[in-house]
Amino acid sequence: MDHRASSDPSLLLNDTRARPRRALAALVATMALSSLGTSVANVALPTLIDAFSTTARDVQWVVLGYLVATTALVVPAGRAGDRFGRRAVLTGGIATFAAGSAACAAAPSLWALVGGRVVQGAGGAAMLALTVALVRESVPPDRVGSAMGLLGSASAVGTAAGPSIGGLLVQGPGWRAAFVALAVGAAATLLLARALPASVPSRTSAGSGLDPVGVLLLTATLVLFALAATTATHRDAVVPLAGTAAACLFGLVVIERRSAHPVIELRLLRDRARAGALTANLLVATIMMTTLIVAPFYLTRGLGLPIAAAGAVMAVGPLISMVTGAPSGRLVDRFDSPTVLVCGLALVFAGATVLALAWAHVAGYLCAIVILTPGYQVFQAANNTAMMTGVDAAQQGLAGALLTLSRNVGLILGASVMGALLAAGAATSSLATAPSDAVISGSRLSFAVGAALALAALAATGTRPRRSRPVSW
């Protein structure tokens, strides 16, 4: 045994790179698990209403609690990884996720369940931020694009497959089994994480500190925005909640401009290429959440499919993601990222347009998904690669966190705003009793807005240079 490997970090890193497949498997499992955590509880919401004798508005926080915690903490998690070591912070996040999952499984009340979901989200923040950041340390340089493609597949499959997996568990052993499964998955992923490289902490690197005031203001902004969205039917509550959220957002901007270690690096927005990458990431995430929110109503209420048949149709998207994720990454390895990125966004726009304009039939929906899903995978691989390769090595965690932050804000927007658009387009306050043609009209409105967002994302990336240069934040 070479004792130098235990004392020399560079030798340890080289030893880890000799086993890139195991390290990549750990990253893929981590990304899939964190994405499952986002969506696995969705299908259990009707059951939870009955289990805790509560309302739909309150039970929404089972989903929002996770998303808000993840979004608010993802940047601090990335900074912590840069400062204290990315593998150490990632494994801590996985352990926290496991503890939160166990707390959810044993929750005696709805708000105890929401609390467990918040703990889950805190762990999920580290998992999402540092998974992307560890790619460059875990695989050879010429395989970074392919690895990003695999992570994109894992994320998409985890998010889309969550309702299917959760539905099977809820229908079988019960809703608590869904969270037990997440806890077991986290324990297994924690074992896999031993193959990841032990990066050297950068305790003195610029930008590696934490900003608790910024975290609190960001959290308050997200919580108040979510409250305003979930109380949209109560106009007396919406205005003060939205106003307070706007005030918190203004305060966040003021604080972040003066902070030595801001949660949101506003200076990054001065670089048009990276500002465009983050903006496009947010907009595309909103589009993808639109498909997850609107599609169940479109297929069941609009087209009249049974729930099982609708689930089978929605499974086509994850299957396409599994097939196209790795090839998308190889395209990035072969061609320049900006060119591949534009092609991906063009496919997303085309798919959303087909959803908005196609005839009301399952075949029309499937045709759109066959176009949109590969576009999403191509976009993710190209956008993530361009963002990460243009960042100093000491700030990879922060870069990955910012990508995840923009994605999660997009998910929150998609979950809250697009549902309202669906109802507005259907001209009804109750989708459960709306006629099929009304649901189809509302769905088309939501998908049309999604197509417009794809054009906006394309415009946001139009200023991207052909080659990105490393920058110091």
pLDDT one-digit tens code per residue, 156-199: 677 667 767 777 787 788 889 989 999 998 999 888 888 777 76
The average pLDDT across 63-81 equals 82
Shared domain for 336 and 298, answered yes or no, is yes
pLDDT at 460 over 90: no
pLDDT greater at residue 319 or residue 123: 123
When mean pLDDT is compared across 2-6, 208-212, 334-338, the lowest value belongs to 2-6
* Same domain? 41 vs 125: yes
More confident residue, 95 or 380: 95
Lowest pLDDT segment from 16-25, 302-311, 362-371? 16-25
Q: Is residue 472 part of a domain?
A: no
Higher pLDDT, 234 or 129: 129
In a domain, 36, yes or no: yes
Judge if 204 and 222 occupy the same domain. no
Helix axes 110-133, 86-105, angle to 10 degrees: 160
Token pair of 150, please?
A: 């695999």
pLDDT of residue 74: 79
Domain span holding position 221: 213-259
Last residue of a domain, one of 196, 211, 226: 211
Taking only the tens place, the pLDDT of each residue in 202-227 is: 554 444 556 788 878 888 888 887 77
In this structure, the answer to whether residues 162 and 235 fall within a common structural domain is: no
Q: Is the pLDDT of residue 405 over 50?
A: yes
pLDDT value at residue 2: 43
Q: What is the pLDDT of residue 36?
A: 84
pLDDT in the model for residue 429: 58
Q: Is the pLDDT of residue 421 over 70?
A: yes
Of 13-27, 278-292, 395-409, give the lowest mean pLDDT range.
Answer: 13-27
Return the higher-pLDDT residue of 294 and 69.
69
Structural domain includes residue 473: no
Give the per-residue pLDDT at 27. Answer: 85
User: What is the reported pLDDT for 96?
Assistant: 95
Q: Is the confidence at residue 63, as pLDDT, over 90?
A: no
Q: Kindly state the average pLDDT of the residues 3-12.
A: 42
- Are 298 and 180 in the same domain? no
| Residue 47 belongs to some domain of the structure | yes
Domain count of the fold of the chain? 3
**pLDDT at residue 3 is higher than 50:** no
In a domain, 192, yes or no: yes
| Residue 447 and residue 331 share a domain | yes
Q: Decide which of 112 and 253 is more confident.
A: 112
**Are 169 and 122 part of one and the same domain?**
yes
> Is 159 found in the same domain as 122?
yes
In a domain, 266, yes or no: no
pLDDT at 260: 73
- 225 and 330 share one domain: no
| 231 and 317 inside one domain | no
Is the pLDDT higher at 206 or at 287? 287
pLDDT of residue 456: 92
Lowest-confidence pick of 84-88, 200-204, 399-403, 432-436: 200-204
HEC string of the chain equals CCCHHHHCHHHHHHHHHCCHHHHHHHHHHHHHHHHHHHHCCHHHHHHHHHHCCCCHHHHCHHHHHHHHHHHHHHHHHHHHHHHHCHHHHHHHHHHHHHHHHHHHHCCCCHHHHHHHHHHHHHHHHHHHHHHHHCHHHHCCHHHHHHHHHHHHHHHHHHHHHHHHHHHHHHHCCCHHHHHHHHHHHHHHHHHHHHHCCCCCCCCCCCCCCCCHHHHHHHHHHHHHHHHHHHCCCCHHHHHHHHHHHHHHHHHHHHHHHHCCCCCCCHHHHHCHHHHHHHHHHHHHHHHHHHHHHHHHHHHHHHCCCCHHHHHHHHCHHHHHHHHHHHHHHHHHHHCCHHHHHHHHHHHHHHHHHHHHHCCCCHHHHHHHHHHHHHHHHHHHHHHHHHHHHCECHHHHHHHHHHHHHHHHHHHHHHHHHHHHHHHHHHCCCCCCCCCHHHHHHHHHHHHHHHHHHHHHHHHHCCCCCCCCCCECC
Q: Would you state the pLDDT for residue 393? A: 62
Minimum mean pLDDT range among 297-311, 390-404, 436-450: 390-404
Residues 253 and 294 in one domain: no
- 134 found inside a domain: yes
Confidence of residue 392 (pLDDT cuts 50, 70, 90): low
- Shared domain for 139 and 242, answered yes or no, is no
- Mean pLDDT for all residues in the chain: 77
- Cα angle vertex 414, ends 53, 274, to 5°? 140
Q: Looking at residue 317, which CATH number applies to its domain?
A: 1.20.1250.20
Residue 112: per-residue pLDDT: 94
In a domain, 264, yes or no: no
Predicted confidence at residue 468, as pLDDT, reads 40
